[in-house]
């Protein structure tokens, strides 16, 4: 059976967090997302990659939709990165931007990436898991005019049903408050095990 939002404990209280489409460009948040460049960095522009006719048509359609929804706009910026398509599981094509050259001249985030061992230590005793996927998360970032940044999703876990209810409600309340929206069909709730960094995590085992 296809899961229904109305059948999910806690989740059913937040139908507005799971719209069929994003309502528009995101609001202005307290935190600005930006990219710091190394000293002396100059704008980089790369020639577009060659595309097949079917890809060019798909590119035109997707760009038109993004323009109409206000997620992108025409630009005369000296910067320019090529676009590529990546096939999704359902066979449709995801439009991606190749920012590898930009990444080479970007100052790395000063916050260290957590060690996998430390993350697994935090999962000890966890019994209930949920995964929330932001709908078009890349387009839900309100960034500075001259900057670009990225977004990601996190795995939610709890050690008891009551604790998971609290965690889930807190996360969904935060998404509602910040006007961030998830794609229900790609979310999973109240799992007894979850794939995490290439491992299967459950109350009984981690492998």
Is the CB of residue 78 less than 8 Å from the CB of residue 111? no
Is the CB of residue 140 less than 8 Å from the CB of residue 31? no
Q: Residue 132's closest CA among 182, 87, 97, 57?
A: 182
> Torsions phi, psi of 55, nearest 5?
-70, -40
Answering whether pTM is above 0.85, one says no
Is the CB of residue 102 less than 8 Å from the CB of residue 77? no
CA pair distance 139, 136, nearest whole angstrom: 6
CA pair distance 77, 52, nearest whole angstrom: 26
Q: Where in the chain is the domain with CATH 3.30.70.270?
A: 5-33+114-202
CATH number for domain 53-104, candidates 3.10.10.10, 3.10.20.740, 3.40.50.720, 3.90.228.20 = 3.10.10.10
Q: Which two tokens stand for residue 175?
A: 């998404």
Please report the pLDDT score of residue 147 as a whole number.
Answer: 63
Q: Residue 70's closest CA among 140, 17, 3?
A: 140
135-140 long-range contacts, Cβ below 8 Å, gap at least 24?
A: 135/18, 135/19, 135/22, 135/181, 135/182, 135/183, 136/22, 136/71, 139/22, 139/25, 139/26, 139/66, 139/71, 140/22, 140/26, 140/180, 140/181
CATH architecture for residues 5-33+114-202: 2-Layer Sandwich (3.30)
- 108-118: average pLDDT: 73
Q: Where in the chain is the domain with CATH 3.10.10.10?
A: 53-104
Q: With pLDDT > 70 as the criterion, what percentage of the chain qualifies? A: 79
* 12 pLDDT tier (thresholds 50, 70, 90): very high
Per-residue pLDDT of 56-89, as tens digits, reads: 888 888 888 888 888 777 776 787 888 888 988 8
| Residue 206 reports pLDDT greater than 50 | no
Per-residue pLDDT of 128-173, as tens digits, reads: 878 777 777 666 666 666 564 322 222 344 667 788 888 888 889 9
Please report the pLDDT score of residue 39 as a whole number.
Answer: 92
Cα–Cα separations (whole angstroms), residue 191 to 126, 131, 194:
11, 9, 7
**Lowest mean pLDDT across 104-113, 184-193, 197-206:** 197-206
CA pair distance 82, 80, nearest whole angstrom: 7
Q: Is residue 46 helix, strand or coil?
A: coil
């Amino acid at each position: 059976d296809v899961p229904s939002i109305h059948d999910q404990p806690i989740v059913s209280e937040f139908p507005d967090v799971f719209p069929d489409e994003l309502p528009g460009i995101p609001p202005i948040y307290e935190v600005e997302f930006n990219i710091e460049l190394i000293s002396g960095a100059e704008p980089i522009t790369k020639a577009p990659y060659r595309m097949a006719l079917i890809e060019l048509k798909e590119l035109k359609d997707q760009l038109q939709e993004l323009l109409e929804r206000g997620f992108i706009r025409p630009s005369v910026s000296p910067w320019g990165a090529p676009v590529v398509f990546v096939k999704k599981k359902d066979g449709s094509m995801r439009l991606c931007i190749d920012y590898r050259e930009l990444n080479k001249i970007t100052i790395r985030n000063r916050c260290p990436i957590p060690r996998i061992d430390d993350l697994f230590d935090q999962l000890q005793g966890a019994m209930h898991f949920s995964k929330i996927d932001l709908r078009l998360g890349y387009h839900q970032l309100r960034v500075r005019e001259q900057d670009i940044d990225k977004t990601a999703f996190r795995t939610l876990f709890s050690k008891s049903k009551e604790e998971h209810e609290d965690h889930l409600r807190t996360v969904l309340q935060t998404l509602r408050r910040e006007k961030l929206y998830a794609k229900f069909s790609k979310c999973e709730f109240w799992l007894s095990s979850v794939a995490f960094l290439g491992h299967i995590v459950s109350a009984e085992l981690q492998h």
